[in-house]
Structure formats: C-alpha cells, structure tokens
Amino acid sequence: MIFDTYFIIGWAGMILIILAYFLLSAKKLKSKSIIYHLLNFLGGTGIVISTFATRSWPAMTLNIIWVIIAVFSIYKIISVKPVYKELK
C-alpha cells in the first residue's frame, strides 16, 4: 500500500514535468515564467520522493538536480527588480 502512494506521487511528478514542457512548447508559458519553474519543481520533487522509495538512485539524483535548477530559476525571477521607464 505504501508503495502505491509513492508510485502515485511519482506519476503525478512525471505528469507535471511533461505538462510544463508541453505548455512551453505550445508557447502557453515562457521559459522565464514562475509557473513553468514551479511545475518543474513540484514534478521533480514528486519523482525524487518516488525514486527514494524505490531506491532508484540515478533517477533520484537527476531529479534532485532538476529541483535545484528550478529553485535557482525561481529565485532569479523573483529577485529581479522591475525596470521603470523614465517619464519624459
């Protein structure tokens, strides 16, 4: 039963990552969109949880790196200060 939960979490993570890529490819999201990176973060986290339970270390390592990249990208987007045009 517990493995069923981990498998569901892993499948949900996979769906989120594919959804993010599809929306990017369909030009519904931009690569600098927080939503795009949140989908990757949540998807990667789901797969990390699932692969930890099944002891699939290479896949877990890949997705930990995926999550780190998503966190870095979200931080970079949030930390950019808005640019205001001068009023002339």
Is a pLDDT exceeding 60 seen at residue 78? Answer: yes
The pLDDT assigned to 9 comes to: 96
Which whole-number Å values give the CA distances from 30 to 1, 27, 33, 35, 88, in the listed order? 39, 7, 5, 9, 31
Calpha distance 3→54 (Å, rounded): 8
* Residues 38-69 pLDDT 10s: 999 999 999 999 999 999 999 999 999 999 99
